[in-house]
């Protein structure tokens, strides 16, 4: 699914902020290319001065493609800014978009990651409406790729949390998560008996709501395209029927990301991502189960269609090497490899490893936020493969 993480960012304007962003504005981006075409007689410094502001907005029409959506038209609106003025200030960003796909899917996200009070508080909001004809394959890692079933549903996701610093780069806090799916309908053209079995398993509606506990460690200063630092996030979710959930169930998500400069004298980045997405107890609704491509950014499992694998628990690992192609930083590339595994029930083990791998190109849209358009081609088992387009790095 096409991501909309691009935030167009510059410094606030004081001497500290200029020091923070001195390296961010090296090289060229598409704004420079367009500015040169529109203002051929201006210097690079004068072109940069055309866009100086405390807040930087962007409205970007684009086209994207994933295996799940096919071709899609996207209109994205973004704002990026710094709420405070220290040399280790963390980027705040807000993004929204509207997507309409070849498969008649509608996607309306509104997300925010806001740092305030000199970085002592972090508010994270991930809200999304979807109308989403799509395929499902069953549970576990051994499902048949030729036995996809088509369903349609509408969904609403309201995930909001706030954390407070209790030590350097360590945070803890609370939140409330709400997920609802309705008008779940089996569209599969197979026998009526099979369709009825699937419909009985899924039901017509699914609702989960409950508080979350969050512990976060984050040394990154740029969440759009990190070039160093570490992200470690533990999130415990407890869903209660008393609050409106269909069932009582608990889950735990452990998300770890680390970024290295490699080689040390270069600008190339080795990025590593591990995601452990676990159902601890209770009956979790089918559409909320851990699944390929259903992490918060919808980016896991390049090489496979979204929802290709699903289970009560998911273990995921990915590594990506990011390197420059042009000396001015306008073009770059990546190579990546990942592996995922699922348990179909509490007694199952992660016996089936499902690898994916591929490569991609990067085009720098904004050098102040280091935002790239990312075009990747991923391959998986049994002939699986396809293009993936994102605005902003995958992780």
Would you place residue 253 in the very low, low, confident or very high pLDDT band (cuts 50, 70, 90)?
very high
Domains and CATH numbers, the chain: 15-391 (2.40.160.50)
Number of H helices, E strands in the chain: 4, 17
Tens digits of residue pLDDT in 279-310: 999 999 999 999 999 998 889 999 998 889 99
Average pLDDT of the residues in 201-230? 92
Q: What are 368's strand-pairing partners?
A: none
Window from 40-44, 64-68, 83-87, 266-270 with minimum mean pLDDT: 40-44
Report the pLDDT value the prediction gives residue 136, as an integer from 0 to 100.
86
Reply yes or no on whether the pLDDT at 147 is more than 90.
no
What are the CA-CA distances from residue 338 to residues 137, 278, 316, 319, 320 (Å)?
Answer: 20, 18, 7, 6, 9
The strand ranges marked E within 283-348 are 313-324, 331-343
Report the pLDDT value the prediction gives residue 223, as an integer from 0 to 100.
84
Report the pLDDT value the prediction gives residue 42, as an integer from 0 to 100.
60
Tokens linked to 152: 């349609």
Q: Find, among 151, 135, 188, the residue nearest to 306 by Cα.
A: 135
| Residue 51 or 131, more confident | 131
Q: Find, among 282, 205, 257, the residue nearest to 393 by Cα.
A: 257
Tens digits of residue pLDDT in 58-97: 677 777 677 778 788 888 777 878 888 877 788 888 888 8
Report the pLDDT value the prediction gives residue 91, as an integer from 0 to 100.
82
Q: What are 159's strand-pairing partners?
A: 126, 177
Tens digits of residue pLDDT in 334-376: 999 999 999 866 445 556 899 999 999 999 887 877 888 888 9
Reply yes or no on whether the pLDDT at 149 is more than 70.
yes
Q: Phi-psi region for residue 331, left (φ > 0), alpha (ψ -120 to 50) or beta?
A: beta
Task: Label residue 356 exposed, middle or buried (CB < 10 Å: 0-12, 13-18, 19+).
Answer: buried
Tens digits of residue pLDDT in 103-115: 889 999 999 999 9
């Amino acid at each position: 699914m096409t991501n909309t993480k691009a935030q167009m960012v510059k410094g606030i304007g004081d001497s500290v902020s200029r020091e923070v962003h001195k390296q961010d504005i090296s090289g060229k981006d598409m704004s420079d290319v367009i500015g040169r075409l529109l203002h051929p007689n201006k210097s690079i410094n004068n072109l940069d001065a055309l866009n100086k502001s405390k807040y930087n907005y962007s409205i970007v029409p684009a086209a994207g493609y994933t295996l799940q959506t096919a071709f899609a038209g996207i209109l994205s609106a973004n704002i990026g800014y710094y709420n405070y003025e220290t040399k280790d200030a963390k980027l705040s960003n807000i993004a929204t978009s509207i997507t309409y796909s070849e498969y008649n899917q509608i996607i309306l996200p509104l997300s925010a990651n806001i740092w305030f009070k000199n970085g002592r508080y972090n508010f994270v909001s991930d809200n999304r409406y979807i109308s989403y004809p799509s395929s499902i394959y069953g549970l576990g890692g051994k499902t048949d790729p030729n036995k996809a079933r088509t369903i349609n549903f509408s969904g609403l996701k309201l995930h909001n949390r706030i954390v407070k610093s209790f030590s350097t780069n360590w945070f803890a806090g609370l939140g409330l998560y709400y997920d609802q799916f309705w008008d779940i309908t089996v569209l599969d053209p197979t026998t009526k008996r099979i369709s009825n079995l699937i419909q009985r398993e899924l039901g017509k509606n699914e609702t989960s709501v409950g508080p979350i506990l969050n512990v976060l460690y984050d040394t990154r200063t740029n969440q759009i395209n990190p070039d160093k630092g570490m992200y470690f996030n533990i999130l415990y979710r407890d869903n209660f029927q008393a609050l409106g959930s269909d069932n009582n169930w608990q889950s735990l998500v452990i998300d770890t990301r680390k970024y290295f400069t490699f080689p040390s004298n270069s600008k190339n980045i080795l990025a590593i991502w591990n995601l452990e997405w676990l159902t601890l107890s209770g009956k979790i609704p089918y559409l909320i189960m851990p699944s390929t491509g259903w992490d918060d950014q919808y980016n896991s499992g390049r090489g496979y269609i979204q929802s290709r694998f699903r289970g009560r628990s998911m273990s995921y690992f990915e590594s990506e090497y990011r390197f420059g192609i042009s000396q001015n930083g306008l073009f770059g590339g990546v190579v990546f490899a990942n592996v995922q595994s699922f348990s179909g029930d509490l007694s199952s083990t992660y016996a089936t490893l499902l690898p994916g791998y591929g490569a991609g190109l990067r085009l720098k849209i904004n050098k102040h936020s280091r935002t790239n358009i990312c075009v990747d081609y991923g391959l998986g088992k049994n002939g699986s493969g396809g293009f993936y387009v994102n605005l902003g790095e995958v992780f």
